[in-house]
Amino acid sequence: MPERTRVAIIGAGPAGLLLSHLLDQRGIASVVLDSRTLEEIETTIRAGILEQGTVEILHETKASDRVLTVGQRHEGIELRFDGEGHRIDFADTVGRAVWLYPQHEVLKDLVAARLAAGQDLRFGVRAERVEDADSIRPRVIAKDSDGNTLQIQADVVVGADGSRSVVREAVSGTSGGHFREYPFAWFGILCEAPPSAQELIYSNSPNGFALISQRSPEVQRMYFQCDPETDTEAYTEGQLWEILQSRVPGTTLKEGPIFQRDVLRFRSFVAHEMRRGRVVLVGDAAHTVPPTGAKGMNLAVADVVLLTDALHALLLDNDETLFDAFPDTARRRIWKAQHFSWWMTNMLHLQPEANGFDRMRQIGELRSVVESTAGRAYLSEAYTGWPLRC
C-alpha cells in the first residue's frame, strides 16, 4: 500500500526545504525525500549572495534569523575594467541591497527549522521515478538506503531535485530544454585571510575575469576564469595567488592559506516543460544559470514562493487557476534572470576567440553601464532582485 501525503517533494536543497516550510505555514502537509545524506547536503558548495526578496522571505517566515544577525548587508559592488574601479551603488539607484550570507548556511537554517517543526524529512531515499503524472494521485517510487522500495502517493509531486532531476523525466519526457554552454569555467578558492575590499569586485582584466567575494572576516571566497577542463590540482598555491593578483590590477589581494578549491561549469538551461498534470519542477530541476550574478538559489526561492500560492489555491480552495498558470508565470522571471546571468557573464569574461575589436567593444559596453544612470539602475535592479510574485 502506498503512503499518502498532500505534497511529495523530491530534493532537500533550498527549494525543497523552503517549499515544505511555506506549505506547513499554510497547513499543508508534505514529505521531503533526498538521495543524499544530511552531511552531503549541508556541504554542497554554493554562492554567497542573497537578493533582498530572498532575505525578506527567510526572515518574515522565520526560516532564518541568522540571515540578518550573521549576514552582511551590501549596498553595492565594484566593476573593475581598463585599470579602474567603478562602484554600482544599489542604495542610491534602486534603494535595495543584497546580503552576503553563504547559501549553505541558509540550508542549515532551513534543515533546523524543518526538523524543529517535525517535518517528515527523509535522507538517503532515492526517488526512482514518478508514475501517474496525469492523474490526480501521482505516485513517487523510491528506494531507501537498505534497498527497500517505497511508494508515496500525493495530490502533487514537486521535483526540487536539482540539475540532474529524476522528476524531469515524468514532466518533460524527452522534450529537453533551451541550452547553452560557455567556453570557460570558474576556478574557486576559499582562503583564510581578511577581506581585500569592503564590497565584491567583479573584474574584467586582459588576462580574464576574476571575482573577489567574501565569506566572513576571516575567510574569503575568490574565483578566476579558467578553461572548463582545468584540474583543481593544476596549480600550486603560489601560482593561484599569482593568477588572482594579475586579474585584479589596482588592488593587492590579501593572501592566506587556500583550504578549498573547485571548478564550476557554466551552463544556461530552461526546461521546455515545468509541469505535467500534478507534477511540477522548481529551481535547478527546471533551469540552470551560469554563476555570474549569483541568481541560482535566488531564482529557486522565487519559484517556490509562486508555487506556494498556487498550491494553497489548488489544495485548500480547489482553485486550479494559479497552478495551471504557474509555468508561464515563473518563466517571466526565469528568462529575466537567464538574460541577466548571460549578460553579466559575457560582459565580464574574456572569450577565447576574442580579437582587438571584441575586447574594445566589451570595454565600451562596461563604460555604457557605469557611466549611465539607467545602466547602473538596471544592473542594481537585477542584482538585488525583482519583486517576488512578478
Q: Decide: is 5 part of the binding site for ligand DHB (CB under 6 A).
A: no
Assigned C-alpha cell, 356: 582587438
Tell me, by CB under 6 A, how many residues bind ligand DHB. 11
Site string for ligand DHB, 330-359 (x = CB under 6 A): ------------------------------
Q: Confirm whether 202 is a catalytic residue.
A: yes
Report d(CA 117, CA 113) in Å as an integer: 6
**DSSP code of residue 285:** G
Q: Which of 102, 182, 195, 202 is catalytic?
A: 202
Q: Decide: is 185 part of the binding site for ligand DHB (CB under 6 A).
A: no
Q: Which of 80, 114, 168, 221 binds ligand DHB (CB under 6 A)?
A: 221
Q: Residue 41 in contact with residue 191, Cβ under 8 Å?
A: no
Q: Decide: is 268 part of the binding site for ligand DHB (CB under 6 A).
A: no
Residues 369, 228, 98, 53: is their CA dihedral positive or negative?
A: positive
- 119's CB contacts (< 8 A; 6+ apart) are 20, 21, 24, 30, 32
Please choose, out of 1-9, 233-241, 245-253, 292-300, the segment that lies near ligand DHB by the rule CB under 6 A: 292-300
Please choose, out of 64-72, 137-145, 275-283, 288-296, the segment that lies near ligand DHB by the rule CB under 6 A: 288-296
Segment holding 191, helix H or strand E: strand 177-192
Q: Decide: is 292 part of the binding site for ligand DHB (CB under 6 A).
A: yes
Q: Decide: is 88 part of the binding site for ligand DHB (CB under 6 A).
A: no
Report d(CA 108, CA 116) in Å as an integer: 12
> Per CB under 6 A, which of residues 106..165 are in contact with ligand DHB?
none
Q: Confirm whether 254 is a catalytic residue.
A: no
Q: Confirm whether 223 is a catalytic residue.
A: no
Q: Decide: is 195 part of the binding site for ligand DHB (CB under 6 A).
A: no
Which residue lies nearer to ligand DHB by CB, 78 or 155?
78
Report d(CA 230, CA 247) in Å as an integer: 17
Report d(CA 303, CA 299) in Å as an integer: 6
> Per CB under 6 A, which of residues 20..59 are in contact with ligand DHB?
47-49
Q: How crowded is the C-beta side of 260, counted as CA atoms within 13 Å?
A: 14
Q: Which of 53, 85, 162, 291 binds ligand DHB (CB under 6 A)?
A: 291
- Count of C-beta atoms within a 10 Å radius of residue 308: 22
Q: Which of 195, 291, 327, 349 is catalytic?
A: 291
Residue 128, helix vs strand vs coil: strand
Q: Which of 293, 298, 300, 380 binds ligand DHB (CB under 6 A)?
A: 293
Binding stretches for ligand DHB (CB under 6 A): 47-49, 200, 211, 213, 221, 291-294
